[in-house]
Copies of this chain bind each other. A is one copy, B any other.
Amino acid sequence: MKRYNKDTEEKILLVAQRIFREKGYNGTKTQEIADEAGINKALLHYYFTSKSILFEKVFLGSIEEVFGALGTHLNSPESIIEKTPKMVSSYLQFVSKNSNLFVFVISEAWQNPEFTDKFVKVVLSKIDYKQYVTSFKREIEQGVIKDIDPVQFLINLVSLCIFPFIGTPIIQNVFAKIEVDKKEFFLQRKEVITNTMLAMLKK
């Protein structure tokens, strides 16, 4: 029975993750993964059977990260108005440091809708977004916040956080003065998004 060398296995997976996210499935060569992991290409197959299976592991892990980062404050016991700025802040932080993760997931999701569905369902089963929707609706009934669809509210939040960063290579040229990867842009965005989201809730 194979026991595997955990160091080697993890090294391959980590390198594969980095390169897949950077270049996508078709742009990634198994030889490059092997080289950068400091191993033989045959060993990659020994551990992961094939390029596509290795890819699936990376892809699944990536989907988990995308949703995991959103889940951080999702069901904290605070009120919606209290935790919205926290969600914005933490998710924005995560996105700004992992733009290529999101580009990768979106791009590959369109290439493989079949098992994207499957993977997303697996990941979702671990996150209790229904509880969030419930508490959101309760606050609406209590008259604390405006009557708005919680689903649309969340879509707005992630849209505003994710898009400016995955669109960086295009956006940065639109407004020459802005350096999107700079702290200043990040702080400006955080304030704008927070204000926008809170404006949606205000009656």
Contact = CB atoms under 8 A, between A and B. Distances in A.
Interface of A: 23-24, 26-27, 63, 66, 100, 103, 105-107, 109-111, 113, 116-117, 120-121, 124, 129, 148-149, 151-152, 155-156, 158-160, 162-164, 166-167, 169-171, 173-175, 178, 188-189, 192-193, 195-196, 199-200
A186 to B, nearest CB: 12
Contacts of A167: 106, 158-159, 162
Contacts of A149: 188, 192
A interface, by DSSP: helix, strand, loop or mixed? helix
A172 to B, nearest CB: 8
Contacts of A158: 163, 167
A170 B63 contact: yes
Given A152-B189, A175-B151, A24 B23 contact: no
Contact of A103 (B110, B124, B200): B110
Copy tally for this chain in the complex stands at 2
B27 A120 contact: no
A51 B142 CA distance: 61
B192 A156 contact: yes
Contacts of A106: 103, 106-107, 166-167, 169-170
Contact of A152 (B63, B129, B151, B188): B188
A171 B102 CA distance: 13
